[in-house]
């Protein structure tokens, strides 16, 4: 079984839905796919996309991103929306819980960003004025830290598994996974990009590889023994950056030791 990664499908754009449908319906029937969030905010589009992926892969593992938690009407808050997305996944046979994929364990990790990801306090907060999460995410009253809430959801998953572990999250677990601020076109991104607590959970799991999303900046590098992979599908205007829609992550993980080869 091969294991592939993808993120940031943004299939609320018809161009991306068309590109997704070009994936072979035969080539991946014995394989697993890790989807690191940001499909869409419309539940109908999320459902359509997950069904398309589920029809092409033996297994689909998924964590919601920030777009999925946007609320454009008043019928729920973002935590209830999160629960509805997980309920939809259960109906469709999409895995949001830890599960085996061949010889590997895949452990989805829920997450949200926190400002301390900007370790050197270099980001430009003024550039966040139009950040959509501030307008479309509706958190319960007196919720406290959103990032801590999602990290706590992961705690029962942090245990010993009898095989090499692959983890996935939407947000970034380490500052090194994002370029320096001067190289970013969006100078405020480090403030809304990741959560250092995520990496502590990855390390506690002795993860061999971690798949993440969100930044739309492709990444594939080993840092302190863990392979970090970001393979975005991108918005339509950046589709020319996508050389291949999927990234295989399993072939570089040592089959016996569960370490990056």
Q: Which residues of 53-77 are buried (b: 16+ CB within 10 A; e: fewer)?
A: bbebbebbbbbbbbbbbbbeeeeeb
Tell me the per-residue pLDDT of 8-37, one tens digit each, with 9 for 90 and over: 999 999 999 999 999 999 999 999 999 999
Tell me the per-residue pLDDT of 131-185, one tens digit each, with 9 for 90 and over: 999 999 999 998 999 999 999 999 999 999 999 999 999 999 999 999 999 999 9
How many domains does the chain fold into?
1
Q: What phi and psi values does residue 106 have, to the nearest 5 degrees?
A: -110, 125
Are the C-beta atoms of 33 and 62 separated by less than 8 Å? Answer: no
Nearest to 202 by CA among 178, 184, 181, 177: 177
Find the helix or strand (DSSP H, E) in which 78 lies. Answer: helix 78-92
The reply to whether 152 falls in a domain is yes
| pLDDT above 70 coverage of the chain, percent | 96
The reply to whether 260 falls in a domain is no
Q: How confident is the model at residue 260 (pLDDT cuts 50, 70, 90)?
A: very low
Helices (H) and strands (E) in the chain, counts: 6, 10
pTM of the model: 0.94
For the residues 217-242, what does the mean pLDDT come to? 88
The reply to whether 257 falls in a domain is no
The reply to whether 253 falls in a domain is no
> In CATH, what number is assigned to the domain containing residue 108?
3.60.21.10
Tell me the per-residue pLDDT of 58-81, one tens digit each, with 9 for 90 and over: 999 999 999 999 999 878 999 999
Cβ burial, residue 29 (10 Å; 0-12/13-18/19+): exposed
């Amino acid at each position: 079984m091969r294991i592939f990664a993808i993120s940031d499908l943004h299939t609320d754009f018809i161009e991306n839905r068309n590109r997704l449908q070009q994936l072979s319906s035969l080539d991946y029937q014995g394989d697993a796919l890790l989807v690191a969030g940001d499909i869409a905010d419309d539940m109908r589009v999320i459902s359509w996309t997950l069904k398309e992926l589920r029809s092409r892969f033996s297994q689909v593992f998924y964590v919601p991103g920030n777009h999925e938690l946007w609320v454009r009407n008043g019928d729920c808050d973002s935590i209830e929306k999160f629960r509805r997305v997980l309920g939809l996944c259960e109906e469709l046979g999409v895995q949001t819980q830890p599960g085996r994929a061949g010889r590997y364990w895949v452990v989805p990790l829920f997450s949200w960003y926190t400002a301390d990801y900007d370790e050197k306090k270099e980001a430009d907060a003024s550039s966040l004025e139009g950040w959509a999460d501030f307008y479309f995410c509706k958190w319960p009253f007196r919720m406290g830290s959103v990032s801590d809430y999602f990290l706590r959801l992961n705690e029962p998953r942090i245990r010993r598994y009898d095989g090499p572990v692959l983890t996935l999250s939407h947000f970034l677990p380490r500052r090194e996974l994002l370029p320096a601020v001067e190289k970013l076109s969006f100078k405020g991104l480090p403030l809304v990009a990741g959560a250092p607590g995520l990496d502590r959970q990855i390390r506690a799991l002795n993860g061999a590889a971690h798949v993440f999303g969100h930044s739309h900046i492709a990444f594939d590098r080993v840092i302190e023994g863990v392979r970090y992979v970001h393979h975005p599908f991108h918005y339509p205007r950046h589709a020319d950056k996508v050389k291949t829609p999927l990234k295989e992550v399993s072939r570089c993980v040592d089959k016996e030791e569960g370490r990056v080869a």
